[in-house]
Chain A
């Protein structure tokens, strides 16, 4: 098992390249807004559970009320975001990351 030890300046050079900046941008511009979105969506649910009980109690289908549907929708959104992230990574992040890693490790030998 080996770990390469680069001069730190090597990493600074890589970090400054356009392609690394592109990788960083692709990761952050997807992950950060999505994190804000699912946290807001989740907190909306928690706050409604605390302060909007009459709304949550409205029955929609038999004994199934808004609160239950809202809760189940949190499951749906979690599954969906996980799936979307894996698609995004496979299409936009992995190829570029693999390419950069290949070049850095090759230059190392």
Chain B
């Protein structure tokens, strides 16, 4: 049996299993709290695994392993930023958000503001961030399929992306948050299992000598000791001073983005209390941190055993390094059959990863459309739960279709890099408004609207006029050059702009609601009046 057949069989098993879970979950979905927040009845450990499942995306698994394999140390920078970011979520956001919100990020932002403008802004920003993130996952799916099924034609890749898109729509539309959460849990266990297995095999091969592994990776990379130092990919000496600022911009976006990602924020609503939200983040940090330590070994292992030439030949951005490593290490230890099996397992796990994250993102953005834009803005709250959920399901279809289309268009980018852009946009558009509304008494409607549009808009504009979009051989549009912004990541400018817009607009408007802030503070710290778990 070839690895293609085996991987397809394993992946189909995952699909059948998770579809079973999804339909089982759909029979328990009765209320809006069930659909949007899984009835708020997941345990802290379950939600912690689901947080890991939502967060350890194709970007983490394929993208970071690939960056480390090709550029050595610089890929590790991503892991560190992605992990430290969880402290912002743990210390400042998770519990307070669980206590004062209901289904979406906008619930917290609109708590003491004039609801319609704030919900509109937050809904728009949720959907934009989610679509950027979705795009990255879809590109990952396209990269995998070439290696996995031997499909290299553009139409074949496009077909895979369509398939992934349709599956995720089914998960979300049928299973809601409950089904999606279980898919995340299953996927997190599979991913941790797969990554641990390959890591142990790689370490075993090098006699559990980390220094030896690193030495071999550096030697095989053809870059010598530079491979183990920062600067091969970001802030290279050739890029000059702007390259170095770009590195700092990336670092800032990574650390401040997590607590502004809508699909992560709604995870805090799926547990019964704020205490459980805290515990689930602790579980999440443990799982995610361990996973990034594993990817360090995977990346160096791929550099040492596969070699950067072979990786680049398969996928120029490095997205296939981890599955290629699985094949190489399997062959080296168990012979040809072993390599085939290991490649199939890792490829199926990677597919499962993409599918699950994509489902989480679709849920977050369609929930925000239905709950924030449709129910509260268009219908001014005059809508039944049934209608609202119907709209949520329809918008899941539409968002799924949009991300399928965009995914087909953007095949040549590294997925970790695309995700970094989504983080920059989340950190600029969402985080300032979230922190201000939780902690700043004087914050008001004008400030919330200005910080969201200011941060989101400046991040988008800077990306459009950056070398990512035009002016370089690796740009999205190759034949034109309209870039004037020297950096790839906008965070260094757009995050302060988001904070500044919020501050200035707040100061310029006299409005603010003292008593609602008192209510928010008391509720967010004590948990009085927090949404309860459903009892069925």
* Interface pair B229/A63, CB less than 8 Å apart: no
Q: Which residues of B contact A8 (CB under 8 A)?
A: 515-516, 518-519
Question: A97 near B527 (CB under 8 angstroms)?
Answer: yes
Tell me the chain B residues, 218-234 only, with Cβ under 8 Å from chain A: 218, 225, 228-231, 234
Whether the pair A43, B529 counts as a contact (CB closer than 8 A) is no
Min C-beta distance of A75 to chain B, whole Å: 6
Contact A104–B526 (Cβ < 8 Å): yes
Whole-angstrom distance from the CB of B207 to the nearest CB of chain A?
13
Chain A residues with Cβ below 8 Å from B522 are 11, 14-15, 20, 104
A24–B525 touching, CB < 8 Å: yes
Task: Give the Cβ gap from B355 to chain A, nearest Cβ, in Å.
Answer: 28
**B30 CB to nearest A CB, Å:** 11
Q: How far apart sit A15 and B195, CA to CA, in the bound complex (Å)?
A: 49
Contact: A78 with B214, CB < 8 Å?
no
Smallest beta-carbon distance A71→chain B, Å: 5
Partner of A4, one of B286, B529, B534: B529
The answer to whether B215 has its CB under 8 Å from any CB of chain A is: yes
Query: What residues of A have a CB within 8 angstroms of the CB of B528 in the complex?
Result: 4, 100-101, 104-105
- Beta-carbon contacts of B465-491 to A below 8 Å, as 1s and 0s? 000000000000000000000000000
**Which A61-109 residues sit within 8 Å CB-CB of chain B?**
61-65, 67-68, 71, 74-75, 78-79, 81-83, 85-86, 89, 94, 97, 100-101, 104-105
Residues B76-131 near A (CB distance < 8 A): 76-77, 79-81, 83-84, 86-88, 90-92
- A-B contacts counted at CB < 8 A amount to 165
CB 8 Å contact bits of B348-390 with A (1 = contact, 0 = none): 0000000000000000000000000000000000000000000
Choice from B73, B212, B289, B526 contacting A101 with Cβ under 8 Å: B526
A residues less than 8 Å from B282 (CB atoms): 82-83, 86
Whether A29 is near chain B, meaning CB under 8 Å from some CB there, is: no
Determine whether the beta carbon of B285 is less than 8 Å from that of A71: no
**B247 beta carbon closer than 8 Å to chain A:** yes
CB pair B525 A50 closer than 8 Å: no
- Check B515 against A12 for contact (C-beta < 8 Å): yes
CB pair B87 A46 closer than 8 Å: no
Bound form: Cα–Cα A56–B79 in Å: 17
Residues of B within 8 Å of A68, CB to CB, are 73, 76, 214, 228
Q: Chain B contacts of A38 at CB under 8 A?
A: 84, 87
Given contacts A11-B515, A11-B519, A86-B278, contact A67 B215 (CB under 8 A): no
A71 to chain B: which residues have CB within 8 Å? 73, 76-77, 79-80
Q: Secondary structure of the B side of the interface? A: helix
User: Are A1 and B251 neighbours in the complex by a CB distance under 8 Å?
Assistant: no
Whether the Cβ atoms of B525 and A74 lie closer than 8 Å is no
Could you tell me if A78 and B91 are in contact, using CB atoms closer than 8 angstroms? Answer: no
Given known pairs A35-B92, A50-B248, the reply for A3 and B73 (CB within 8 Å) is no
> For B255, what are the chain A residues with a Cβ–Cβ distance below 8 Å?
39, 42
B244 to chain A, nearest CB (A): 4
Please give, as numbers and ranges, the residues of chain B lying within 8 Å of A79 by CB-CB distance: 285-286, 289
Q: Are B275 and A78 closer than 8 Å at their CB atoms?
A: no
CA distance A39 to B495 in the complex (A): 15
Give the Cβ gap from A45 to chain B, nearest Cβ, in Å: 7
Contact B92 A63 (CB under 8 A): no
Whether B33 is near chain A, meaning CB under 8 Å from some CB there, is yes
Q: State the CA gap A53–B244 with chains docked (Å).
A: 11
**B521 at interface, CB cutoff 8 A:** yes
For residues 39 through 63 of chain A, which have their beta carbon under 8 Å from a beta carbon of chain B? 39, 42-43, 45-47, 49-51, 53, 56-57, 59, 61-63
Size bracket, chain A contacts: 35 or more
Inter-chain CA distance A77–B225, complex, in Å, is: 27
- As a 0/1 sequence over residues 19 to 46 of chain A, the CB contacts with chain B under 8 angstroms (1 = contact) are 0100110010001001100110011011
| Contact in complex: B251, A97 (CB < 8 Å) | no
CB <8 Å contact, B211 and A49: no
Q: For B83, give its contact among A35, A74, A94, A97 (CB under 8 Å).
A: A74
Map CB proximity to A onto B189-219 as digits: 1 under 8 Å, 0 otherwise: 0000000000000000000001110110010
Instruction: Check if A49 sits within 8 Å of B531, measured CB to CB.
Output: no
> Which of chain B's residues have a CB closer than 8 A to the CB of A20?
522, 525-526
**Cβ–Cβ < 8 Å partners of A65 in chain B:** 225, 228-229
Query: Are A53's CB and B525's CB within 8 A?
Result: no
Complex Cα distance, B72 from A57, in Å, reads 13
A100 to B531, CA, bound (A): 17
Q: Say yes or no for B235: interface residue by CB 8 A criterion.
A: yes
Q: Which of B425-443 contact A (CB under 8 A)?
A: none
Does any Cβ of A come within 8 Å of B312's Cβ?
no
B293 at the interface (CB under 8 A from A): yes
Which of A50, A53, A78, A79 gathers most chain B CB within 10 Å?
A: A50
- By a beta-carbon cutoff of 8 Å, the part of chain B in contact with chain A is 31, 33, 73, 76-77, 79-81, 83-84, 86-88, 90-92, 210-212, 214-215, 218, 225, 228-231, 234-235, 244-245, 247-248, 251-252, 255, 275, 278-279, 281-282, 285-286, 289, 292-293, 514-516, 518-519, 521-523, 525-529, 531-532, 534
Q: Would you list 24 pairs from A and B whose C-beta atoms are within 8 A, ordered by A residue? A: A1-B31, A5-B529, A6-B519, A6-B529, A15-B518, A31-B92, A35-B87, A43-B251, A46-B81, A46-B247, A49-B231, A49-B235, A49-B247, A50-B244, A50-B247, A61-B211, A62-B212, A68-B76, A75-B80, A78-B289, A79-B285, A82-B285, A85-B91, A104-B528
List of 9 A-B pairs having minimum Cβ-Cβ separation, nearest first: A62-B211, A46-B251, A8-B515, A49-B230, A11-B519, A50-B244, A63-B214, A63-B215, A12-B518
